[in-house]
Amino acid sequence: MESKRFRLDRFISGKLQIPKKQIRPMLAAGRVRVDGIIARDMDQIVDQFSHVVVDDITLQQHSAHYIMLHKPIGVVCATKDEQHTTVMELLPANSPQDLHIVGRLDLNTSGLVLLTNDGHWSRQLMSPTQKIPKQYLVTLKHPLTPAYIEAFTKGFYFEYEDITTLPAELQILGPNRALVTLYEGKYHQIKRMFGRFRNQVMALHRIAVGNIVLDENLQSGQSRPLTKAEQDYF
């Protein structure tokens, strides 16, 4: 969903179908409120979540929604799918209808999935320039060695895209288990990185995106709204 941002005079003009030149005296008279505060500046920017009232007429009152979901294996990150259950189908029936998925996981990956109707927030969270850390628990077919740590730190060259991955962090948790932190999201990146060692990824589970950590109390398939602190990453 795209973030919709308008100058206040243009927004009111469009909503009330009146010329923009009529907006200035309305503002001067204190007849316009944005988010409960009297607005005087016609250049003020409003977005799709601004609460705009002219006199006693509410022109817009939308709410931003931010949700975390514990995605099970076998569920797809899509709005519709003919073969598999989608993450949208796991949400409560009264969930907002305008949500989109932030940072998709593939069919066989479980863990944290975020959903929102705030396009600006989701673009910031997934922007490559932000380098937001994403953490995954990985179970491997074969044992790990310290050589993995060095290789992940250096990055891997992917011939198909002609790119070298950003340095990643790998912490060995057990003979076949690791915590991997990425700062980007290339196609099947973790599986391809371990593939260089001919070590098959048996299970992949995302536990965090930035400061948003998958709630331990959420069972697989469950969801909850983000807290204010989790929302306010930006």
| Domain segments of the chain as ranges | 6-60, 66-232
In which band, very low, low, confident or very high, does the pLDDT at 95 lie, cut at 50, 70 and 90? Answer: confident
For the cut 60, the answer to whether the pLDDT of residue 1 exceeds it is no
Query: How, if at all, do strands 52-54 and 212-213 pair?
Result: unpaired
Residue 84 falls in which region: left (phi positive, over 0), alpha (psi -120 to 50) or beta: beta
C-alpha span between 143 and 124 (Å, rounded): 36
Q: Mean pLDDT in the chain?
A: 92
Is the domain defined by 66-232 classed in CATH 3.30.2350.10? yes
CATH class of 6-60: alpha beta
C-alpha span between 220 and 69 (Å, rounded): 8
For the cut 70, the answer to whether the pLDDT of residue 99 exceeds it is yes
For the cut 80, the answer to whether the pLDDT of residue 4 exceeds it is no
Chain segment 170-210, per-residue pLDDT in tens = 999 999 999 999 999 888 999 999 999 999 999 999 999 99
For residues 48 and 140, the model is more confident at 140
C-alpha span between 84 and 205 (Å, rounded): 19
For residues 164 and 48, the model is more confident at 164
pLDDT value of position 56: 86
Amino acid at 18: I
Query: How, if at all, do strands 177-182 and 169-174 pair?
Result: antiparallel
Chain segment 51-72, per-residue pLDDT in tens = 899 998 889 777 889 999 999 9
pLDDT value of position 234: 58
pLDDT value of position 198: 97
pLDDT value of position 79: 87
C-alpha span between 98 and 87 (Å, rounded): 14
Those residues with Cβ within 8 angstroms of residue 1's Cβ, 6 or more apart along the chain or in another chain: 98, 100, 117, 118, 119, 122
The edge-to-edge listing of strands for the beta sheet with 52-54 is 37-38, 32-34, 52-54, 57-60
* Strand ranges in 72-183 using DSSP code E only, listed in sequence order: 100-102, 109-116, 134-140, 157-158, 163-164, 169-174, 177-182
C-alpha span between 176 and 183 (Å, rounded): 23
For the cut 90, the answer to whether the pLDDT of residue 145 exceeds it is yes
State the catalytic residue, choosing from 55, 98, 106, 232: 106
In which band, very low, low, confident or very high, does the pLDDT at 160 lie, cut at 50, 70 and 90? Answer: confident
216, with CB counted inside 10 A (0-12, 13-18, 19+), is exposed
For residues 50 and 110, the model is more confident at 110
For the cut 90, the answer to whether the pLDDT of residue 218 exceeds it is yes
Q: Which residue from 37, 98, 32 is spatially nearest to 65, judged by alpha carbons?
A: 98
In which band, very low, low, confident or very high, does the pLDDT at 149 lie, cut at 50, 70 and 90? Answer: very high
Query: How, if at all, do strands 134-140 and 177-182 pair?
Result: antiparallel
pTM: 0.80
C-alpha span between 67 and 209 (Å, rounded): 13
Residue bearing tokens 């993995």: 148
Among 21-25, 112-116, 218-222, the least confident range = 21-25
For the cut 80, the answer to whether the pLDDT of residue 88 exceeds it is yes
* 67-78 average pLDDT score: 96
pLDDT value of position 232: 86
User: Has 106 been annotated as catalytic?
Assistant: yes
